[in-house]
């Protein structure tokens, strides 16, 4: 997939994300519902923030793969976190998780701190848009 990155100089150089991504003609949009890092019905205790990020990202990638795509087809992510401080404190290991699954490719991204998530024990949720196919 060859997205066209849209990063106007006036907005500054993005690091670990892009300002915008233009999808190629003929691509099909895939909207991935929010995937939580922990389900309250899961056995055991909820894992830590980084482990939950890896778990939620793996679920997003499973949906993209089922639609015939891969990590490079992710066009946009919104990450909902219950603790912005915990997110910031975890940036280095979160980057390692990301690169282990998606290499150096970064989609357009947004981060939103929320009061809570539906699943008790969930520290984060990832919602995504992918573009599958196209020229």
Encoding tokens for residue 5?
């990155």
Residue 18 φ then ψ, to 5°? -130, 150
Note the pLDDT of residue 25: 87
Between 111 and 13, the higher pLDDT residue? 111
* Multiple choice CATH, 4-132, 3.40.50.300, 3.30.70.580, 3.30.1330.40, 3.30.70.600: 3.30.1330.40
Percent residues over pLDDT 90 in the chain: 76
Note the pLDDT of residue 131: 92
> What sections of the chain are H helices per DSSP?
49-66, 84-89, 91-102
Note the pLDDT of residue 3: 80
pLDDT per residue over 59-98, tens digit each? 999 999 999 999 999 999 999 999 999 999 999 999 999 9
Tell me the whole-structure pTM to 2 decimals.
Answer: 0.88
The ranges assigned to domains in the chain are 4-132
Percent residues over pLDDT 70 in the chain: 99
* Residue linked to tokens 């923030």: 49
Phi-psi region of 42 (alpha: psi -120 to 50; beta: other; left: phi over 0): beta
């Amino acid at each position: 997939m060859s997205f066209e990155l849209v990063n106007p100089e006036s907005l500054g150089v993005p690091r670990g994300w892009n300002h915008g991504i233009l999808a190629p003609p003929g691509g099909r949009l895939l909207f991935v519902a929010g995937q939580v890092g922990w389900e309250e019905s899961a056995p055991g205790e909820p894992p830590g923030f980084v482990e939950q990020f890896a778990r939620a990202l793996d679920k997003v990638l499973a949906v993209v793969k089922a639609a015939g795509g891969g990590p490079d087809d992710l066009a946009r992510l919104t990450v909902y976190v219950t603790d912005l401080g915990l997110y910031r404190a975890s940036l280095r290991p979160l980057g390692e998780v990301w690169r282990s699954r998606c290499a150096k490719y970064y989609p357009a991204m947004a981060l939103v701190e929320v009061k809570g998530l539906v699943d008790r024990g969930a520290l984060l949720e990832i919602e995504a848009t992918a573009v599958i196919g196209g020229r």
